[in-house]
Amino acid sequence: MSWIRDTFQEYQIGRARSVANQTRVKSYANASDIGHTDKKIDKLVLITQAIWALLEESGISESQLQRKITETC
């Protein structure tokens, strides 16, 4: 009977290893996605700063911008 228990335990160990490997792959993929998202956010921040600088140069005030943001949201 111990061979049945051993076989079952080996099966469970194999399944646990498989789940662990799948989890590791998903973890790496998520880390990559987060890095990509961070780069996009950084780029959007720079673009927003450039647009705000242009708006200020055009005579748009911060209160006008705030009002428009409130209207839009």
Whether pLDDT at 70 is above 90: yes
Q: Which of 41, 40, 13, 35 is nearest to 27 (CA)?
A: 35
| % of the chain at pLDDT higher than 90 | 82
**In Å, how far are 42, 50, 52, 62, 73 from 56, measured between CA atoms?**
21, 10, 6, 8, 21
pLDDT band, very low/low/confident/very high, at 64 (cuts 50, 70, 90): very high
What is the predicted pLDDT for the residue at 4? Answer: 87
Q: What gap in Å lies between CA 20 and CA 26, rounded to an integer?
A: 10
Q: What is the mean pLDDT of residues 44-62?
A: 96
- Domain of 14, in residue numbers: 2-72
Q: What gap in Å lies between CA 69 and CA 66, rounded to an integer?
A: 5
Number of domains observed in the structure of the chain: 1
What is the predicted pLDDT for the residue at 3? Answer: 87
